[in-house]
Amino acid sequence: MKATIIGSGIGGISAAIRLRNKGFDVNVYEKNNNPGGKLNTFKVGDYRFDAGPSLFTMPNLVDDLFKISGENPRNYFNYKKKEIHCKYYWDDGMKFTAYSDRKKFLNEVQKKFKVDRKVISKYFLKAKRKYELTENIFLKKSLHKLSTYTNMDTLKAMFQLHLFQINQTLNKVNSDELKNDYLVQIFNRYATYNGSSPYKTPGMMTLIQHLENNYGTFIPEKGMYDITNSLYKLAKKIGVKFSFNKSVTGINIQNNIVESVEIDNNTVLKTDYVISNVDTNYLYNKILKKKAKHIATKQERSSSAVIFYWGLNKKFENLDLHNIFFSSNYKKEFECIFKESKLFNDPTVYINITSKEVINDAPANCENWFVMVNAPHNKNQNWKNDLVWLKENIIKKVEKILKCDIGKHIVEEKIYTPEDLEKNTNSFQGSLYGTSSNNIFSSFLRHPNFSRKFKNLFFCGGSVHPGGGIPLCILSSKIACDLIENS
């Protein structure tokens, strides 16, 4: 049986590995000259950067792909657990270190915010229960198959529906349960992990932080792109075939069955199954050429990002791998993004510095800064004009909090806007996670992992169920491959 995979993002490579292990002849077509999609890498001068996702959780999902292939993951890919999840900074001088060790985390909460340890412990416990009740339903199976709802896991979850707090926003739940503005802002931030607003996304989303605060955060020894590179090497070893600088430009269908794909508008190749690892809007508009539509393509887009990749000729010892400099008006920031479709003048600034852990990512006594702010999806805003004042405001904010010069130490720079993200990754309007999760039905309105109209067309990646981010993209590939096996 032949399987064609469109796109070599983390979901596409994972799907290729799974199908190859099931005996399929697998061909992956990628429009760029290397694998990875958003999980990519590049150099600016002597500084190396990971282009996209900078947070690594649930590394067991990556390890599993090696294990099902009969390989020892440690022969390909190594990582370590971080002792510090993130360092948080506020304009008023407050600082907070989120330790991975639960006891140290709770002690820090009590010390810095004067919040009883029992308050946060209760919050964590509730998030854990939400996750355990929904893991097998929302993360490991298709939400769009009746069989998902006719089992004991679903019945057990239904009997505790009140626990999910779907009729309250994440901000309301956090405000009621944590009762501390700093803590609320920390845990509101997890809405951005799926490109949503904490003032709109349902309280159910408290479970997102569970993956980080319960399982931990990790860093690959060679940086985030090593996830892509290692899985690519594994896929090649077990017989997956990759074609780079090749685009799938059409899908030929007869009697609602995919029969072949067109490569670069001139080569037709027969196939038994297709898995799309590209944005669903791109698939429908550019590849299927509007032969089909789905309600998911009409939903509100997730947020995007503006990213400054800076090479600095100085080290900042007080910073860690992950650092957050919060906006002084978080609610207004999200109103600007989702209601006004514009950047906020006092954005929350995320700084990722991989050279803290991967020494060769920057020259000696230097650092590589991945500086990201939340942004609206691309609607033809004047990004070039916005970048001027945005850069000034970011530097001013960070300098004020760290009490040291930043601007004069920037010696290399590259900038990504939502427009660039759309062009480079085919993400519709540059949204990072496909659709947002800004209402209680969002999970059910995400594109399913299969086509209801075309029986041998399947989907994986960040724009479909269960969502964006490395763990969910890997899980989406498993759902799609399981559906193929049972089709």
3-state secondary structure of 44: strand
Residues in the chain, total: 487
> What is the greatest pairwise CA distance in the chain?
66
Mean pLDDT of 393-405: 97
Q: For residue 315, is pLDDT > 80?
A: yes
Average pLDDT of span 34-49 = 97
Query: Residue 324 pLDDT > 70, yes or no?
Result: yes
Q: Count the neighbouring beta carbons within 10 Å of the beta carbon of residue 113.
A: 19
The CATH number of 2-39+225-299+446-485 is which of 3.30.420.10, 3.50.50.60, 3.30.465.10, 3.40.50.2000?
3.50.50.60
Q: What is the DSSP string of 247-283?
A: -EEEEEEETTEEEEEEETTTEEEE-SEEEE-S-HHHI
β-strand pairing of 273-276 with 457-459: parallel
Residue 67, SS3 per DSSP: helix
User: Do the Cβ atoms of 248 and 287 come closer than 8 Å?
Assistant: yes
Task: Give 42's contacts (C-beta < 8 A, 6+ positions apart).
Answer: 48, 49, 51, 414
Q: And the tokens for 247?
A: 């685009």
As given in the structure block, the two tokens for residue 23 are 């005996």
CA 333, 338, 342, 343: dihedral to nearest 10 degrees? 30
Q: What is the pLDDT of residue 289?
A: 83
Provide the residue type at 116 as one letter.
D
Residue linked to tokens 């997956």: 240
Burial class (CB in 10 A: 0-12, 13-18, 19+), 74: exposed
Q: In the prediction, which pLDDT does 149 show?
A: 46
pTM: 0.94
Residue 350 DSSP SS3: strand
What is the per-residue pLDDT for 421? 94
| DSSP letter (8 states) at residue 55 | -
Distance from C-alpha of 60 to C-alpha of 58, rounded to nearest angstrom: 5
- pLDDT tens digit sequence for 60-116: 999 999 999 999 999 999 999 999 999 999 999 999 999 999 999 999 999 999 999
